[in-house]
Amino acid sequence: MTRGSVWFVGAGPGDPKLLTIKGMEALSRADVVVYDRLANPLLLTHVKPHARLVYCGKEADRHTLPQEEINRLLVQEAQSGHTVVRLKGGDPSMFGRVGEEAQMCLEHGVPFEIVPGITSGMAVPLYAGIPLTHREYNSSVAFVTGHLCEKNAGKEPDWRALASMETLVIYMGVKNLPYIKEQLLLHGKRADTPVALVRWGTLGKQETVSGRLQTIDRTVVEAGFKAPAIIVIGEVVHLRETLNWYEKKPLFGQRVAVASRRTEGRGLIQELELLGAEVWPIPLREQPASSQGLSGDAAAYEWLVFDGVQKVRDFFRELSSRRFDIRQLTGKIAAVGKETAALLEEKGLYPQHVFESTVQTSDLHQALSARSGERILPITSESGTGILQAEESAAHRVSAAALEWDWQHPAAGWFASESFDLLATDDPAALFALAQFAGEDWQKRRLLCLGEDAIAQAKNMGWDAVVECAEGTEQLASVFASLQTGKEAAHLYS
């Protein structure tokens, strides 16, 4: 019988980019994922398409699965030969009961491994501009749970010792905040000690409330502040006044659903994140598009000219679908743009000429110094919106891959249940998938399009509220600034 195993993985504090590389690798191998309420659902996009997901979220007085059943589930799945990931919010060892679950695995002979995560007690204050130590304020920090303060007297913390600590970080303490305040004051903590509570830290919906120990419980009630939150007590809270970096980002609080095949480098997703947006890259799946066939035999041309990165991808996809041997491409190669040239080199084709701007078909012979009789095949887009302005008779128009919203993806349910301030794409081929995702009245949903190809395709589809931005992602902040002043569309071109 195949022997399974259990991986206890720290999901981090919320921001999906704070998952460790080892944690991501474990998720990609998992057959079963048992995940908590505080594990960001975006992390589930790393799992295999047919992995089974089991939610065991816990809230105050309401547990989806009792702890004993969780323990039993982990053992049973592993004994069935499955690789199981127990995805726990923050770090699994910080009030995460990983010790109990690991002991259960040990008792039943189930191999296990523990992958640490970034604990919310450290990351969340930093995202609120509060370093836990600063040599002008403190030299010690204590981490404590506030969950057992009113009961289980035998497990009560040493309040006198905690009151003497320079900085306290309290998990799960919102409900019991009045009791925590009372005990700290009773045991010598100053009434004017600064306090901050940070809710949903590291996410776009992060909220922070601050005040003084004497009145912080009333401040929290007046603000309607709820769990989950981290509580920080100590003079380091003063640093928030100057170091509050995350909540001051221009797109902080904006949740954006992005459809794009580009996940690496400085693309739309990365730029939106740098500006502070909470970005949800929707799951996509590619359906083979019908090939229109090469305009003649590509091997018969002396020059192939590619007018964009996506045209290179689509061209090679078409060659693959036709089982075309790339060694038959004996002609010279030209590219429009450095990124296009770089991708061609990755594919094993090294351009002899790289254009930096638009070029007309009629000028190609002169621009390429082509000899008389040499045939040139421009590779342009199916919609004719590429940089290279090619004539119908002279161009091979590659058909873009048909992308769909992958509603069967394990994480798709989370996406469908969330609301978004904006939809966005830099990929013309992903617009249909984005329309599927948006559902009814998709034409009326506000759509950010990056790049002239995507803009033209969105308008051809009949999308009404198109927010336009040229290729330069540095203009995104200006686009959003225009939107926040009430403009429904911004036309910003280089």
CA angle 217, 218, 221 (to 5 degrees): 90
Beta-strand pair 58-59/62-63: antiparallel
Cα angle vertex 61, ends 56, 63, to 5°? 15
Q: Is 151 a catalytic residue?
A: no
Q: Is 80 helix (H, G, I), strand (E, B) or coil?
A: coil
| 459 is annotated as an active-site residue | no
Rounded alpha-carbon distances, angstroms, from residue 139 to 182, 185, 213, 238:
25, 21, 20, 16
Instruction: Measure the CA–CA gap between 268 and 260, rounded to whole angstroms.
Output: 8
Catalytic site residue from 94, 172, 332, 427: 172
Phi, psi (degrees; rounded to nearest 5) at 422: -160, 150
- CA-nearest of 346, 340, 348 to 311 is 340
Tell me if 88 sits within 8 A of 96, measured CB to CB: yes
Tell me, yes or no, if 15 is annotated catalytic.
no
- For residue 202, with 0-12 CB atoms within 10 Å meaning exposed, 13-18 middle and 19 or more buried, which class applies? buried
Catalytic residue among 22, 58, 175, 347: 58
Catalytic choice (15, 31, 36, 307): 36
- The DSSP code for 449 is E
d(CA 237, CA 297): 69
Length of the chain: 494
Please identify every residue annotated as catalytic.
Answer: 36, 58, 172
